[in-house]
A and B are shown apart, each in its own frame.
Chain A
Amino acid sequence: MRRNLIFGALLSVIFLLAALLSFIWTPFDIESLDIANKLKPPSGAHWLGTDHFGRDILSMIMMGARTSIAVAVVAVGIGIILGVPLGLWAAAGKGSWLDELIMRGNDLIFAFPSLVIAILITAVFGASAVNAIIAIGIFNIPVFARLSRGAALSLWERDFILAARVAGKSAFRISWEHILPNITSLMIVQGTIQFSLGILAEAALSYIGLGAQPPTASWGRMLADAQTLVSIAPHTALVPGFAIVLMVLGLNLMGDGLRDWLDPRLRVTRV
């Protein structure tokens, strides 16, 4: 399944490069409106056509990739930075009231319909990219906490951890020096999956107007603008949609590929 990994990584890297490139160059300036050229289908001048303000859609996609990636990266970062230590902490004190508290808290967050809470947060605090990040990030915390706790628990049973305990290392140092490096690959794989979910969530929130606000370009926002134009200019809806699908598909394939690649047990059973 190495093909999946390569194909997925390639797709993801293309979007990443497009987002980085948009900092220094885009084919057209997306803040200058060109009404005379509005809703033009793809052509030599505008590879992916223009939107209802005559803005170049390729440039908007590049800027939108930046928004999507930034929101998803920070949201996953929140999940990892808060979730992994909580999971390790819970695992180190397995069975204690702290473990119980952390895991019950996780269950509680899982019980909430994430979209509803994201809507609630952005409704009260105002629609913005930052609030979208927080809303998406909160739901990443229990994912990483639960996963890292599970992985850490099985590591705590191992002989090399026993050796470290005999050597007198504290639970904190064992978690930091021995457990964490051993669960990194697992976190990377999950991070890739959560990253793709973050992209979808950001698109959904900005589609309903609760994510990044204009003039910040965002794929979900482009789809919302395209909704009433879909019959006269289908490309305005097709292009941002394909961007989301390809980016998410790339990340998912990369995640699957990474899991197979990083987990030698799977490799053996596949052969």
Chain B
Amino acid sequence: MIQYALRRFVSLVVSLIVASIVIFAVVEVIPGDPAAFMLGVNAQEDTLNALREQMGLNDPLPVRYFNWVTGMLSGDFGNSWTYKAPVAEMIADRIWVSLPLAIYALILSTLIAFPAGIYAASRRGKPGDIAVMGATQLGVAIPNFWFAMILVLIFAINLRWFSAGGFPGWENPFDALKSLTLPAIALALPQAAILARVMRSSLLDMLGEDFIRTARAKGLTRRQALWRHAVRNALIPVLTIIGLQFSFLLAGGIIIEQVFFLPGLGRLIFQSISARDLIVVESVVMLLVFVVILVNFAVDLAYAVVDPRLRSRV
């Protein structure tokens, strides 16, 4: 187990190093002079020089990369050129929108998918199963940002149950959660459709196993065997998918935040892109990639803890 964890950890570090090199190359090397890119064609020479100085562009590439990485490791993400504020502070402000949104969506997705998947598997081939599977086909095909617009149209504009966008802050947790509800539903739906399918097929695999036949043979009904034995075993692959979905939800939130005007990391990226503030773009993208790689690593480890067979296979 320790050997497995170590190998995964090494590949985690390698992934992070390569990812940071790729991001650094795309943002700071390929555009030529990032300072000129950021300031546009009408830039004054002394402004350019000031920005070059701030970004450390006069240093050789390896030094710049090294400074960027060590800076991030010590919590210094540089200073935003357009906002004149430390990027780390800006991220810290906005992560309290993006992270709760992703977690909220993950909870919703699980709450929808588990019953739907179990119900479909227990009625395999019957109308209930076909209806759930049809709904998941639709769920996978619906773009989440369009679903978000439809939710706004129905629940904010027509019924007036929710506001159409914006975020009141966490002073009043109930209002904050309420304003995240429609975005979370929009994010959760396609993921719930995928998760329900995984849950169903994983359960069906389990129902074909010998231990289920044994359970039936000792007198359990089909339903009892399903709930007492199959569901617990079917959860192993499902939990992996849930872990992977977290990163999709965090990244997918970027677009949903646009629909609902939520002041999260997604909006920060877009504002920085249109302001050509590469310092912010670079750091936020690296942070998101870091979180995703870290979550994948945690999922791998959790999986190995639950299923010992995996440890030998790397």
Contact = CB atoms under 8 A, between A and B. Distances in A.
Same complex for A and B? Answer yes
Interface of A: 104, 107-108, 111-117, 119-121, 123-125, 196, 200, 203-204, 207-208, 223, 226-227, 230-231, 234, 237-238, 240-241, 244-246, 248-249, 252-253
A120 B27 contact: yes
B215 to A, nearest CB: 23
A116 B251 contact: yes
B61 interface: no
A113 B15 contact: no
B37 to A, nearest CB: 8
Given A111-B15, A124-B30, A252 B273 contact: no
Interface string B241-274: 0000001101110110011000000000110010
10 contacts: A107-B11, A111-B293, A113-B289, A121-B26, A123-B273, A204-B143, A207-B143, A223-B146, A245-B146, A249-B141
Nearest to B18: A108
A6 to B, nearest CB: 15
A230 B273 contact: no
A107 B292 CA distance: 13
B288 A241 contact: no
Contacts of B50: none
A230 B155 CA distance: 13
B302 interface: no
Nearest to B284: A116
Interface string B85-116: 00000000000000000000000000000000
A112 B273 contact: no
Q: Which 8 A-B pairs have the closest CB atoms?
A: A113-B251, A248-B141, A241-B146, A249-B141, A123-B273, A231-B157, A115-B251, A113-B292
Interface string B141-157: 11101100110110001
A115 B281 CA distance: 14
A237 B154 CA distance: 13
Contacts of A245: 138, 141-143, 146
Nearest to B146: A241
Contact of A208 (B11, B138, B141, B258): B258
A119 B269 contact: yes
B285 interface: yes
A124 B31 contact: yes
A22 to B, nearest CB: 22
B140 interface: yes
B181 interface: no
A116 B288 contact: yes
A111 B19 contact: yes
Contacts of A117: 285
Contact of A120 (B18, B23, B142): B23
Nearest to A113: B251
Contacts of A238: 150
Nearest to A123: B273
Contacts of A112: 19, 289, 292
A119 B93 CA distance: 22
B137 interface: yes
Given A203-B143, A204-B255, A230-B149, A120 B281 contact: yes
Contacts of B141: 196, 244-246, 248-249, 252
A12 B15 CA distance: 38
B259 A227 contact: yes
A120 B27 CA distance: 8
A124 B251 contact: no
Contact of A223 (B145, B248, B250): B145
Contacts of A252: 137, 140-141
Given A113-B292, A245-B143, A252-B137, 15 more contacts: A104-B11, A111-B296, A113-B289, A115-B255, A116-B288, A116-B292, A120-B281, A124-B26, A200-B143, A207-B143, A207-B255, A230-B153, A241-B146, A248-B141, A253-B137
B264 to A, nearest CB: 13
Given A112-B292, A196-B141, A249-B138, A226 B23 contact: no
A203 B148 CA distance: 14
A200 B30 CA distance: 28
Contacts of A240: 146
Contacts of B152: 230
A252 B252 CA distance: 21
A266 B11 CA distance: 36
Contacts of A107: 11, 15
Contacts of B293: 111
Contacts of B31: 124
Contacts of B292: 111-113, 116
B114 to A, nearest CB: 23
B137 A116 contact: no
B143 A244 contact: yes
Nearest to B140: A252
Given A124-B31, A241-B143, A208 B255 contact: yes
Contacts of A244: 141, 143, 146
Contact of A241 (B150, B270, B281): B150
B154 to A, nearest CB: 10
A241 B144 CA distance: 10
